[in-house]
């Protein structure tokens, strides 16, 4: 039989699994992480890829990523042009992930690679689109655990999406979930909260949580506080509604005080008009009206201000082991 001429090129089958790992301050942990991932995923049916996103790490993490990519074609490295934050780095990885299933995990070895097959098997057995790793025997400091619980309670009280404080970014997600996540381009990124908002069939599986073997968390308390504040403002307008209620309450109290003062002027002794009280009452009334108006304006401005900037969520400065030309998204 003569060879077929001008045959259409065959399209390689999609990968079964992509592993997305934001990288910051993990130069010492990356070699062990890579080794444990390759051992765990060797023989994984359908193949896999590792996507390492350097979020402008101050150490030699990018050099390590480049070395790994140079010797393993399954490793894709992205280096961002500045520190855009962990959740923006996750977004960059998700935008490049091609696997039917996508795992998101940290680079510090606290999320254990050996748990990936368990997450994958549980998702398929239970017909789930999302499985978060529920960290048992969490190995973080007491202050970090307390701060996490306080944040999630505050977020729930303020009307934001509910999140289990024992879960984090670690989990496995079907490509249909990742495709939906790519549509969410709001500038305030909160990966697990966005996944919760999307819905789909979600579950959680108990996973082991390891102590951090190298260095310490790059998140300072002030950064965590700022992140929490930004997330609350992005996912809930209750603070502004509370401000409106506060302003309305001040107006109401001022009006009651005014009625009391009028009554005092009518039935009280003549010649004792408390002009200073009238002045203070007027100031409080104007202040209450101002807070009410500010809150109402804020309800509109907060929903549009960040969106109208339309800036890219991240900028890629350099890539390793990729022929894709896009630098921004």
Residue 328 lies in a domain: no
Q: Which one, of 134, 136, 133, 167, lies nearest residue 149 by Cα?
A: 167
- Inside any domain, residue 8: no
104 shares its domain with 183: yes
Check residue 183 and give its pLDDT. 94
What's the pLDDT at 2?
A: 46
195 and 292 fall within a common domain: no
Q: What CATH number has the domain bearing residue 62?
A: 3.90.550.10
User: Does residue 154 lie within any of the structural domains?
Assistant: yes
Digit-coded pLDDT (tens) for 78-99: 999 999 989 999 999 999 999 9
On whether both 259 and 174 belong to a single domain, the answer is no
> Is there a single domain that holds both residue 128 and residue 61?
yes
* Claim to verify: residue 226 and residue 270 sit in the same structural domain: no
pLDDT at position 316 over 80: yes
Q: Decide if pLDDT at 77 tops 60.
A: yes
Write the pLDDT tens digit of every residue in 227-259.
676 777 677 777 777 777 777 777 787 778 777
**153 phi and psi angles, rounded to 5 deg:** -70, -40
Residues 170 and 254 both lie in one domain:
no
- The per-residue pLDDT for 143 is 58
| Residue 120 domain boundaries | 17-236+311-320
- More confident position, 241 or 106: 106
What pLDDT shows up at residue 263? 72
User: Looking at the 3D structure of the chain, how many domains does it have?
Assistant: 2
Evaluate whether 142 touches 65 at the Cβ level (below 8 Å). no
Residues 267 and 124 in one domain: no
- Is residue 92 included in any domain, yes or no? yes
- The answer to whether residue 81 is domain-embedded is yes
Name the average pLDDT for the chain. 80
% of the chain exceeding 90 in pLDDT: 42
Q: Is the residue at 66 inside a domain?
A: yes
Q: Which residues are within 8 A (CB) of 206 and not within 5 positions of it... i.e. 6 or more apart?
A: 133, 134, 136
- pLDDT band of 144, cuts 50, 70, 90: low
Q: Confirm whether pTM is higher than 0.85.
A: no
113 and 34 in a common domain = yes
Reading the block at residue 328, the tokens are 């921004």
């Amino acid at each position: 039989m003569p060879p077929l001429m001008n045959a259409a090129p065959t399209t390689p089958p999609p990968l079964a699994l992509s592993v997305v790992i934001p990288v910051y301050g993990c130069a010492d942990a990356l070699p062990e992480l890579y080794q444990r991932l390759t051992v765990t995923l060797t023989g994984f049916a359908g193949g896999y890829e590792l996507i390492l996103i350097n979020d402008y790490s101050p150490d030699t993490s990018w050099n390590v990523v480049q070395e790994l990519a140079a010797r393993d074609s399954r490793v894709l490295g992205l280096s961002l042009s500045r520190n855009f934050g962990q959740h923006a780095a996750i977004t960059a990885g998700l935008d490049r992930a091609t696997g039917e299933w996508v795992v998101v995990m940290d680079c510090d070895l606290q999320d254990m690679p050996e748990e990936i097959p368990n997450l994958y098997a549980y998702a398929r057995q239970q017909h789930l689109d999302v499985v978060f790793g529920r960290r048992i025997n969490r190995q973080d400091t007491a202050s970090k655990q307390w701060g996490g619980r306080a944040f999630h309670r505050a977020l729930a009280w303020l009307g934001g999406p509910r999140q289990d404080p024992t879960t984090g970014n670690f989990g496995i997600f079907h490509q249909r979930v990742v495709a939906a996540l790519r549509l969410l381009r709001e500038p305030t990124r909160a990966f697990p909260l966005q996944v919760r908002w999307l819905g789909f069939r979600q579950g959680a599986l108990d996973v082991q949580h390891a102590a951090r073997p190298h260095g310490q968390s790059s998140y300072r308390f002030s950064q965590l506080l700022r992140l929490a504040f930004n997330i609350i403002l992005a996912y809930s307008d209750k603070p502004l509604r509370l401000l409106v209620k506060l302003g309305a309450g001040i107006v109401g109290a001022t009006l009651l005080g005014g009625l009391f003062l009028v009554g005092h002027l009518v039935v009280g002794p003549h010649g004792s008009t408390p002009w200073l009280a009238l002045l203070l009452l007027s100031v409080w009334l104007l202040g209450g009206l101002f807070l009410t108006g500010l809150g109402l304006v804020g309800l509109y401005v907060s929903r549009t201000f960040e969106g109208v900037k339309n800036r890219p969520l991240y900028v890629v400065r350099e890539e390793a082991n990729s022929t894709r030309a896009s630098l921004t998204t």
